[in-house]
Structure 1
Amino acid sequence: MRERWQAAGVLAGVLFMVNVVARLIIRFGFDGDDTTAADRVSLGMFVVIGAILAALTFVWARRRPAAEWGTDIAAAVGVALVVTILVGPLLVGENPFGGGAGTFFAQIWLYFAATGVGVLLGYLLAVALGLDHRSQALKRYAELKAAKPHKSVRR
């Protein structure tokens, strides 16, 4: 059980570090008035977060049932979201609520959208290729049933 939550904690830490790197690039790499560059870096951050979750979901969907990995990813994304929204701005000297309620809630919705799309793409790719846990279990069951002769033939 410890390894399971440790993996979720590491994932939350990685997602938070992606955000920290993006915030530091925006802070030190561009002028404070250049919102276009900040928007591009933020978009890149959301793409990286989605790609990480897509790859991880693809790998976890092959090994474990959806109920297990879904819980782990949901917990990691929830923790990473809270830390990213509340602690991330403080690391670069900003107020988490400085942009107003609209900006605060927009960050939350964008984060959920990026993570949701990433998880969905990873899982759908695993299902489409027949590599997810359930498809593999059904394949093993079909092979097992096809290999056994009917009861009337067995002795």
Structure 2
Amino acid sequence: MRQQRWFRITALAVALFAVNVIARLVIRFSDDSADGGASGLASIAMFTVIALILGVLTFLRSQRVKPSAWLPDVGFGALAGMALIVLVGPFVSGDGPFEGGAGNFFAQIWLFIGCAGAGGLIGYWVAVMLGRDYRSRALKAFTQARSDRPRRVVGRR
């Protein structure tokens, strides 16, 4: 079951939603002062954890398989997580998805896309920079195989 594509996508979406639920519960049950320090700090921590999750996942997946195999999984998982966070998440804190207005709704979407994209890009860039991504490893193996072959003798007449 873990090898099926939908399981990986669902697991990522649920993990991202769980991070959001924890942040919303911290905000809901914290002693919120007039300046909103706890809610701002919890939101920053939530988006940082989301970026870290996607960065680490991208770093690990990019080492094993081609981007054409892992990119749809991570992308659809992140999109499903975003849909859960934006549409279902507000009910955890006692609000509705559109209660803050359209600006708040779309701000959540843009913040999520920005943090998720930044985390994924940083994870992939680190893998490429270290030469551990799939393509770099394939090119290294090709170079090694070419250099291990004996020199081909060409007969001249």
Q: Could you tell me which residue of structure 1 aligns to residue 131 of structure 2?
A: 130
Q: Where in structure 2 are the equivalents of 1:6-85 lying within 5 Å?
A: 6-31=7-32, 33-85=34-86
Q: Secondary structure at 2:4's aligned position in 1? A: helix
Distance in structure 2 (CA, Å) of the matches to 1:9 and 1:55: 17
Instruction: Report the CA distance between 1:124 and its aligned residue.
Output: 0.3
Q: How does 1:139-150 map to 2 (within 5 A)?
A: 139-150=140-151
Q: TM-score scaled to structure 1, two decimals?
A: 0.93
Structure 2 residues not aligned, in runs of 5+: none
Asked whether the 8 Å contact 2:16–2:81 carries over to 1, the reply is yes
Moved over 4 A (4+): none
Structure 1 gap ranges (5+): none
Tell whether the 8 Å contact from 2:30 to 2:38 is kept in structure 1 after alignment. Answer: no
Distance 1:119 1:53 in 2: 5
Amino acid at match of 1:55: V
Cα-to-partner distance string for 1:44-98 (whole Å, 9 max, x where unaligned): 1000000111111110010011111111010001100011100001122111101
Task: Report the more deviating stretch, 25-34 or 7-16.
Answer: 25-34
Tell me the C-alpha RMSD between the 2 structures.
Answer: 1.6
Whole-Å separation in 1 of the counterparts to 2:92 and 2:131:
43
Alpha-carbon offset, residue 150 of structure 1: 2.8
Decide whether the 8 Å contact of 2:13 with 2:77 is kept in 1.
Answer: yes
SS in 1 for 2:54: helix
Matching of residue 100 in structure 1 with residue 92 in structure 2 = no
TM-score normalized by structure 2? 0.92
* 2:119 matched residue in structure 1: 118
Matches of 1:17 and 1:32 in 2, distance apart?
A: 25
CA distance in 1, matches of 2:152, 2:54: 47
Query: What displacement does 1:35 show?
Result: 2.4
Q: Which amino acid aligns with 2:28?
A: R
Task: Give the match's secondary structure for 1:138.
Answer: helix
